Amino acid sequence: MKPTDMPKEGAEMTEETEQMIEKNCAKEPENVASPGDAKEMRVVVLTSFGGLNKLRVTKKPMPDPQEGEVKIRVKACGLNFLDLMVRQGNIDNPPKTPLVPGFECSGIVEALGDNTTGFEIGDRVMAFVNYNAWAEVVCTPLDFVYKIPDDMTFTEAAAFSMNFVAAYMMLFEVANLREGMSVLVHSAGGGVGQAVAQLCSTVPNVTLFGTASPCKHEAIKDSVTHLFDRNIDYVPEVKKISPEGVDIVLDCLCGENTGKGLSLLKPLGTYILYGSSNMVTGETKSFFSFAKSWWQVEKVNPIKLYDENKVMAGFSLLNLLFKQGGCSQVKNAVHKLFSLYNEKKIKPLVDSLWALEEVKEAMQRIHDRGNIGKLILDVEKSPTPLMANDSTETSEAGEEEEEHEGDNDNKERMPFIQ
């Protein structure tokens, strides 16, 4: 990441309308049957990298599908930990702001670009998007769009795409999960963690070790064989139960945990780094955090892996999709997952639904690790009065004010959970 890539705050704001959406302008759920004539759409916009106050709901011109693209009337969007990192600019090569965040959504096909085969208007789909998912309408290349099973709700589909695909590809393609193996996953209560738990349960006799905040243990204890407090050192806890270690370690923590994860592997075991949520600590973070993490992470000598018969891997679904042309590999995983869904072996766990206007509260909840399962932005949902008041309160001064560590951290919030 080059500092020169970073736009100045407030720069390049001209192309978006600055008009805030009034609370009462949110559509009623009953009122969305024929929205195709609108020339504008509601979106969540990140005005510049920083705290929650950089997020707002605004209107943008409705996009038209280009050649090979599918235009989707969005029903639901997924919110991931990664979206927090994007908000903070805490990723490698961040895009320019203002931008519309979000990498996944579900909805109904509304139009097709030229040479866009395989879909029809009215198809129920889920899609990966390289940003711009948190909007009423999304256009994305057909390779990133999948028809969803008839029984799958839009909420489930938006909760499904990134988390289940990542969990599936890590467990079954990067690692090779088989009967009788053991897996360690961090943030076992989160979206990926719960997808991992469900996929592990599709294989006979898999032992799942998980870390999670103690407050979540009661809620997720049936999905994880052995649960540990995320605030304690899990290495001795795992070794007490399984002195020889585990077969697969899924690590979204990074930093010192790579060494810990490798040390916990059985021979031929696989450590997978799939995220770096330890990079997100406060509400805002220096743009150099990613680069700093890079240097702080312990590098590994291949001869150590040879000596110990271990496998070290990294997995980034978004890089695979949008930088590395991995659509066909992902499509293959999606189809296998749909089969498992149709056989009722897996079912996305949704933590809560939020209106677009409630995106700050939703982000705060995922930042505070309050969620169990997936947070969903429900495009048709009206903000609850309390949430809506809260949501618009700080947004007007957003793009001008300086950021403060811990901004918004101390407000008491009671998210609306469905």
In the complex, the residues that contact a copy of itself under the rule CB under 8 A are 92, 169, 173-174, 176, 244, 254, 258, 267-268, 270, 273-276, 293-294, 297-316, 319-320, 324-326, 329
Distance (Å) of CA 410 to CA 84, 97, 277, 357, 359? 17, 27, 20, 20, 17
Q: Give the nearer residue to a copy of itself in terms of CB position, either 176 or 342.
A: 176
What residues contact 134, with CB distance under 8 A and at least 6 apart?
A: 43, 44, 77, 100, 101, 102, 105, 356, 359, 377
Please give the Cα distance from 68 to 78 (Å, whole number). 24
Task: For the CB of residue 275, give the shortest distance to a copy of itself in the complex, in Å.
Answer: 8
Nearer to a copy of itself, 242 or 293 (CB): 293
Q: How far is the CB of 254 from a copy of itself (least distance, A)?
A: 7
Whole-angstrom distance, CA of residue 190 vs CA of residue 371: 6
Closest distance of CB 304 from a copy of itself, Å: 7
Residue 103: CB minimum distance to a copy of itself, A: 16
* Nearest approach, Cβ of residue 213 and a copy of itself (Å): 24
Instruction: Between 128 and 354, name the residue whose CB sits nearer to a copy of itself.
Output: 128
Select 212 or 254, whichever has its Cβ closest to a copy of itself.
254
- Considering the complex, state which of residue 58 and residue 276 has its C-beta at the smaller distance from a copy of itself: 276
Using DSSP's 3-state secondary structure scheme, residue 211 falls into strand
Six token digits for residue 311: 């496998």
**Distance of closest approach, residue 182 Cβ to a copy of itself, in angstroms:** 14
**Whole-angstrom distance, CA of residue 362 vs CA of residue 297:** 30
Q: Which is nearer to a copy of itself, 31 or 319 (CB)?
A: 319
Which residue is it, tokens 């056989």? 343
- Find out whether 284 and 407 touch, Cβ atoms under 8 Å: yes
